């Protein structure tokens, strides 16, 4: 749920709650006040009627009032005394042909030694009308107030959140490899500015860490290559000198081969780190059939030595937007893998279905699953010379470009890469 929706809902539920209870309470308060007023008037009327009765002066007769009626009953002695009460009642109005609410005061008075029961009725029509009017006006006012508050809230918040949303968008598009200055828009909300400031400090730190790391990898590679170059050159010179014993020769060659392997390992790890750091940004449309054919040419010796039949049915002209060098590395590693784990007189099929290219090869079954296969330094026992970094490189490249890479075994080893359209 969006924060704006949540606050709006909270606001609405609370105001509606308060409003409903308030309005009920308000009604009763108002009603009570009006009743009190009417009672007071009825009381005044009673006093004037009693004084009239006592003076018995016809000139002092009760002035007619359209809102008022008076009923006088003579009480017989044995009638029970009615109580002195205020009550609400409905009386049918002949003129308007409808019931009208009245408030009644009944009391007993003495007149000419007779006891009479007098009931004064006062119409409540006007005051009821007033109450309804006040009610309607008040409700309208409150509703207008709530709606305008909501609208205003929405507008201000949306404006403020726009900046926040821009920040989010910028962060999700953030790529440490673009080397662009990371700037966020200023907001008039303190919290957002705080957030922006923290994010900017963070990205600056990430940037400098990244640059340091990059520099470190590069320097490390250079620094390691130097001593390796010295070792190699000295060993080569040693091998040239004719006066080595047979056993010394063997030792020197072993050391020489080991240092060569070390340098290959170093180069491959640097490559892997560079792919991970996305340091191959230049992309273009790479025609995969050309790349694959080139790699097959380069690997000709390997193909001939195992007498492997290649079936290649890639669509000519199928292109993928990526770095051409990485495309080469991707396919040379896949094809080399298919060759290395193949059998004599085996075959390799390179096929394409829509955006998916699959490379499948014959070869002995193994128990490794897809995850294990793509792990670094995970080697099958029969090829101790390989570094165990070919498939991890394939996986890394696919990760960089969001290609799906998959492995299955179904009589053949089956690697497939789904290229995004």
Partner 1 sequence: MKILIIEDEKALSDSIVEYLTTEGHLCEAVYDFQKAREKIELYEYDCAIVDINLPDGSGLDIIKKIKEKQISLGIIIISGRGSLENRIEGLEIGADHYLTKPFHLAELNAHLKSINRRINFSGNNEIILNEIKILPDEHRAFVNEIELKLTKKEYDLLLFFISNKNRVITKISLAEYLWGDFMDTADSFDFIYTHIKNLRKKLLKLDCEDYIQTIYGVGYKFDLSIA
Question: Given the rule CB under 8 A, which residues bind partner 1?
Answer: 218, 221-226, 228-234, 236-237, 239-240, 249-250, 253, 256-257, 259-261, 263-264, 267, 274, 298, 301-302, 305, 325, 332, 336, 340, 383-387
The interaxial angle of helices 390-401 and 324-340, nearest 10 deg, is 140
Using CA atoms, how far apart are residues 66 and 63, in angstroms rounded to an integer?
10
Nearer to partner 1, 157 or 265 (CB): 265
Closer of 34 and 224 to partner 1 (Cβ): 224
Least Å distance between CB 340 and partner 1? 7
Tell me how far, at minimum, the Cβ of 304 lies from partner 1, in Å: 9
3-class secondary structure per residue, 121-145? EEECHHHHHHHHHHHHHHHHHHHHH
Give the span between the Cα atoms of 325 and 28, in whole angstroms.
84
Label residue 240 left, alpha or beta by phi (over 0 means left) and psi (-120 to 50 means alpha): alpha
Closest approach, Cβ 356 to partner 1, in A, equals 25
Taking the least distance from each CB to partner 1, the nearer of 118 and 322 is 322
Pairing mode of beta strands 284-287, 98-111: unpaired
Cα dihedral across residues 168, 173, 176, 182: positive or negative: negative
- Angle (deg, nearest 10), helices 190-240 and 125-172: 20
As measured in angstroms, the least distance from the Cβ of 382 to partner 1 is 11
Which is nearer to partner 1, 145 or 211 (by Cβ)? 211
Comparing CB distances to partner 1, the nearer of 42 and 292 is 292
CB of 343 to partner 1, least distance (A): 15
Question: At closest approach, how far in Å is the CB of 252 from partner 1?
Answer: 8
- How would DSSP label each residue in 82-101? PP-EEEEEEEEETTTTEEEE
Residue with smaller CB distance to partner 1, 225 or 355: 225
């Amino acid at each position: 749920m969006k924060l704006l929706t949540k606050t709006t809902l909270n606001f609405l539920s609370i105001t509606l709650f308060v409003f409903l209870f308030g309005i009920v309470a308000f009604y009763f308060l108002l009603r009570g006040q009006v009743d009190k007023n009417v009672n007071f008037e009825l009381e005044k009327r009673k006093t004037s009627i009693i004084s009239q009765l006592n003076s018995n002066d016809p000139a002092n007769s009760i002035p007619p009032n359209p809102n008022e009626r008076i009923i006088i009953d003579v009480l017989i002695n044995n009638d029970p005394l009615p109580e002195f009460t205020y009550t609400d009642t409905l009386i049918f109005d002949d003129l308007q042909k409808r019931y009208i609410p009245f408030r009644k005061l009944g009391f007993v008075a003495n007149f000419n030694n007779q006891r009479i029961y007098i009931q004064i009725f006062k119409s409540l029509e006007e005051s009821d009308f007033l109450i309804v009017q006040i009610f309607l006006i008040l409700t309208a006012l409150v509703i207008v107030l709530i709606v305008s508050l909501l609208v205003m809230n929405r507008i201000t918040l949306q404006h403020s959140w726009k900046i926040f949303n821009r920040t989010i968008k910028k962060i999700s598009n953030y790529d440490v490899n673009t080397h662009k200055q990371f700037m966020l828009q200023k907001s008039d909300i303190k919290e957002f500015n705080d957030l922006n400031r923290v994010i900017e400090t963070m990205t600056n730190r990430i940037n400098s860490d990244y640059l340091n790391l990059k520099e470190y990898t590069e320097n490390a590679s250079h620094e390691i290559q130097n001593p390796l170059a010295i070792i190699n050159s000295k060993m080569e010179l040693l091998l040239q000198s004719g006066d080595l014993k047979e056993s010394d020769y063997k030792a020197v060659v072993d050391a020489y081969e080991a240092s060569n392997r070390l340098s290959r390992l170093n180069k491959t790890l640097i490559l892997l780190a560079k792919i991970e750091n996305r340091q191959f940004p230049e992309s273009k449309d790479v025609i995969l059939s050309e790349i694959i054919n080139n790699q097959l040419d380069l690997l000709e010796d390997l193909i001939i030595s195992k007498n492997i039949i290649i079936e290649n049915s890639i669509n000519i002209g199928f292109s993928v937007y990526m770095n051409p060098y990485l495309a080469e590395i991707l396919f040379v590693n896949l094809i080399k893998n298919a060759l290395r784990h193949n059998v004599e007189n085996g075959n390799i099929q390179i096929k394409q279905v829509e955006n998916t290219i699959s490379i499948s090869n014959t070869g002995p079954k193994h128990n490794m699953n897809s995850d294990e296969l793509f792990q670094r330094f995970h080697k099958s026992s029969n090829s101790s010379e390989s570094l165990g970094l070919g498939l991890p490189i394939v996986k890394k490249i696919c990760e960089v470009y969001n290609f799906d890479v998959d492995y299955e075994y179904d009589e053949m080893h089956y690697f497939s890469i789904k290229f995004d359209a």
